[in-house]
Structure 1
Amino acid sequence: MSESPPRGVAPDPAGDNGRAPRRRRVSMADVARLAGVSAQTVSRVSTGHPGVVGSTRKQVLDAMRTLGYRPNSAARALKYGEFRTIGVILFTLSTTGNSRTLEAIASHAADEGYVITLIPVAAPTQDGVYGAFTRLGELAVDAVIVIMEVHLLDSTTLVLPPDVPVVVVDSDAGDRYCVVDTNQDDGARQAVDHLLDLGHRTVWHVAGPEESYASQRRTLAWRTALAEAGRPVPPPYRGNWSAEAGYRIGRELADRTDCTAIFVANDQMALGVLRALHGAGRIVPGEVSVVGFDDIAEAGSFIPPLTTVHQDFAEVGRCCVEAALRQVRTGSAETGTTLVPTRLVVRDSTAPPPGG
């Protein structure tokens, strides 16, 4: 015996060649009829509209599950002129900043009734970015958020398509696009000022990759803060954001008796530095103080707990989504940079220098 369609849903007529009838797509009207509400209420529930009573929302969701209803995003886009989708282009998920920013974007997009479509780009080139935009165009999105650490957008050789609202994270392209970024300069200055205020003569620096905009800004702020304080500026050591790189550089710094304070450009490398100092018998913070950047969830569990600069990734994600949807709703592009504040979290990895 053939399976009967759900109540209120009629099967299509028999198909070609005597094949069994196909069930037609469940409509919004079918859901409304089963739930005992209007089609407009079903529409509001399916788009995540907040103005629906909890008990009514449950009735509608139960009816959707019973009937196997799936909202037709293409039809909704034709009717309302939007897909309720934000595209996200990024080059890597391996860094703390990118992964936590993406998580925040997805969360805030969901709060607004939007979903995200993720397009990773293997190579940070103009062709790679254009290819990602082409794919997002095929998937139909209302706006695009670009998360990139490299300086690709800082170059005038790259121009993004003008017909799609764009928000860029971590870039120096605010004169041409809407940019959201952590206040890298202020965060690095807080780290350096904290160590100088403790009495350290100067601060050594473990920098991130040279091609990273965030790394460049943190390094520049470190160098400027030391110069303005009239302190010696040691040569920076270049890492790649990994704990392994921090360990390698930390072993070199551990051999320097004149190194009593280190500002590390991210917490993962700081973890490697701490391990190297411990292995070399250098006491933290009794002999060497260490400050990181990010304030990852594990920073308070390092040995010793890490003093670090806190980045508000949730606020970065919220600002990105708000800026993207503002452009969608007004129909006009925006430029300029929004800087999200940082704050220094002081823990047990910093102290006055020996004899200080």
Structure 2
Amino acid sequence: MKVFGYATQSPTSKLAPHRFERREPRKDDVVIEILYCGVCHSDLHMARNDWGWSFYPLVPGHEIIGRVSSVGSSVTRFKAGDHVGIGCMVDSCGHCSPCEHGLEQYCEEGNTLTYGSYDRLDKMPTYGGYSEKIVSSERFVVKIPDGLDLAGAAPLLCAGITTWSPLRHWNVGKESKVAVIGLGGLGHMALKLAHALGAEVTLFTRSIGKEEDARRLGADHIVLSTDEKQMVSVQGHFDLIIDTVPYVHDINPYLSTLSLNGTLVLVGYLGGLEPILSTVPLILGRKSVAGSIIGGIAETQEMMNFCGEHGITSDIEVIKMQEINTAYERMQKSDVKYRFVIDLASLKADKKGEIV
């Protein structure tokens, strides 16, 4: 299946129009016309091979909202015309313990990523949502609730589920005290979702001037993490801290703010911690430092339904596909509130000239 989109050809190349081959649909597949695709910070990391496993050409994008154009003969959950979404995965082994428990993101054989991976059956490369259409097994497609803004729903497929999964795993509810470190794409979704779950929500930030926006997004309190008095005032307070910071940083100052049995969960950073983690507050308070990544398909659907019920979407800036390289530059400077979303209708301008 010939598909048109945007790709990068090397770690130093800019994204540019590119025609590529997707696999032919199977009987359990859904073919989706892509309407919107969110721009995740991991798209930039993958495009530039920051993690060392990218291969090229690379078509990024794993916050995909679209319309079903056709379905395979065995598909039962979707029909042509349905609004649907695809997140970070398009397949997994289906038989290991995590998969059997609806945690495909932790598949022991390794899940098949929406892009930058290889199909489990025919070994063709997978390509992401910066394109006009995508093919996926219906098992990895989620329904978009009626009435939910489609463009604003796109980042829910990564930023939303990445923060929803730990909120649900640690049973956040009306009696919970939750803090969020960092106010970006992930952080602003964590505030919205924790607030909607009924928790008392606090934002940790290093930047003066974010209070008004944080309160609009659902924060009850704002703590300046560089202010020693403010940090002392919340010692032993939080049941759960969601750390969304995407670069190496010192988490030690936050451990004293956890309550007995409290957990700090890292969702934004992959790599070693610097300075070294002190185990003293962990041992003396039975506290934990944990990690979490995206979510399973069942909990992604659960989150999407919850967002539909509460009218929750991401705060976005819609861009044309042709603006993606500028968007990457701005994203590196944190110059977006809080997620770029590509309107894929803009691809038609390039496709008319058949630029490849």
TM-score range, shorter chain: 0.3 to 0.5
Larger Rg: 1
Q: TM-score, normalised by structure 2?
A: 0.32
Q: TM-score, normalised by structure 1?
A: 0.32
Q: Which is richer in helix?
A: 1
Q: Which is richer in strand?
A: 2
Higher RCO (CA-CA < 8 Å; seq separation 6+): 2
